[in-house]
């Protein structure tokens, strides 16, 4: 019995060690960031492509007021979007550049805890380090907004942040974005914007019971992550009748080919994509039009 007890203790300690190792938050240090000259104008483009104001903006205020406060429903509870304005106490004004790059590309806070993937770092991780640094430089030019946002309201055990490390181990792909030399410059730019900064798959893909994107149905639509309806399929299953100019025009105006207009959260997205260049919107259209048709989950019958 004593040997069994010792063996059990060893197994428990080994398991705890593996858990601690696997769930240790990843960090980008200042030493990993080479010297460079910030491009604030590019940072504004990254800001618009990333849709930062859609979640972090304050209702009824200019889009550059990033005080947060949006409540995002989910099967795990309610996430409250934080203040990312340059306010030194309530926002990210005291963050270093390395803190910001770590948060955006690794999903780790300055306190070295995991951020929940409601913050779409699963897509933002594909952004180049220079783009993320330029974004930080741009955000620092925006007005500081006072007001600290309340903590998330999550059901047990989802409020245990260390467990997010397990989620990252299971679902966070760390493969960097790679240009496809067989494709055009426009296609590659569109792939970068759609998969990375635009984080389109975060809403337009179904998720499993742990909140991981179902890879085989990426971009195939499904239940709205916030529980407010159905997100459309944006593969050729859903966009087969759309031309590339149709898609680009939609990203500029929110107008569908049939004359209807985007509503709900997509209307917020359009307010960002409308500020991109015509070339970037056309590139996104080129990439989206190239996606093969994929069947998404069955949409429930409307009563």
Which pair of structure tokens corresponds to residue 297? 């989950």
CB 221 within 8 A of CB 234: yes
Report the candidate in 37, 51, 40, 39 with the shortest Cα–Cα distance to residue 276. Answer: 51
Residue 187, Cβ density class (10 Å: 0-12 exposed, 13-18 middle, ≥19 buried): middle
* 163-181 pLDDT per residue, tens: 999 999 999 998 999 999 9
Contact 56, 68 (CB under 8 A): yes
Q: How far apart are CA 180 and CA 253, in angstroms?
A: 30
* H or E, element range at 298: none
Q: What's residue 14's pLDDT?
A: 74
Give first-to-last CA distance, the chain, whole Å.
62
- What pLDDT score was predicted for residue 7? 67
Residue ranges with strand state E in 75-171:
77-80, 153-154
Give the Cα separation of 281 and 251 in Å (integer).
Answer: 7
Q: At 296, which helix (H) or strand (E)?
A: none
Round to whole Å and give the CA distance between 164 and 157.
Answer: 10
Reduced to 3 states (helix: H, G, I; strand: E, B; else coil), residue 144 is coil
Are the C-beta atoms of 69 and 82 separated by less than 8 Å?
no
How many other C-beta atoms lie within 10 A of the C-beta of residue 181? 6
The dihedral sign for the CA sequence 151, 154, 156, 157: negative
pLDDT in tens, 29-50: 999 999 999 999 999 999 999 9
* Positions in the chain short of pLDDT 70: 1, 3-4, 6-12, 15, 19-20, 226-227, 301-303
Query: What is the rounded CA–CA span in Å between residue 138 and residue 85?
Result: 11
């Amino acid at each position: 019995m004593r040997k069994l007890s010792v063996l059990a203790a060893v197994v428990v300690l080994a398991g705890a060690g593996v858990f601690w190792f696997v769930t240790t938050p990843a960090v980008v240090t200042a030493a990993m960031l080479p010297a460079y000259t910030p491009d604030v104008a590019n940072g504004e483009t990254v800001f618009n492509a990333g849709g930062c104001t859609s979640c972090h903006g304050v209702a009824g205020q200019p889009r550059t007021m990033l005080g947060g406060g949006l409540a995002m429903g989910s099967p795990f509870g309610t996430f409250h979007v934080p203040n990312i304005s340059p306010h030194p106490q309530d926002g990210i004004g005291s963050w270093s550049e390395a803190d910001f790059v770590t948060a955006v590309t690794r999903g780790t806070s300055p306190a070295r805890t995991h951020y929940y993937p409601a913050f779409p770092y699963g897509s933002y991780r594909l952004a180049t380090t220079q783009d993320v640094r330029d974004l930080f430089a741009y955000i620092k030019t925006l007005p500081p907004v006072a007001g600290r946002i309340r903590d998330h309201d999550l059901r047990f055990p989802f409020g245990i942040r260390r467990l997010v490390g397990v989620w990252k181990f299971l679902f966070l792909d760390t493969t960097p974005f790679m240009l496809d030399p067989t494709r055009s410059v426009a296609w590659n730019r569109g792939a970068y914007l759609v998969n990375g900064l635009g984080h389109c798959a975060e809403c337009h893909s179904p998720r499993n019971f742990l909140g991981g994107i179902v890879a085989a149905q990426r971009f195939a639509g499904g239940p709205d992550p916030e529980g407010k309806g159905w997100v459309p399929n944006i593969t050729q299953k859903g966009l087969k009748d759309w031309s590339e100019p149709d898609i680009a025009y939609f990203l500029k105006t929110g107008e569908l080919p049939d004359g209807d207009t985007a509503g709900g959260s997509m209307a917020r997205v359009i307010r960002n994509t409308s500020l991109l260049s015509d070339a970037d919107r056309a590139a996104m259209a080129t990439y989206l039009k190239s996606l093969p048709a994929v069947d998404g989950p069955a949409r429930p019958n409307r009563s």
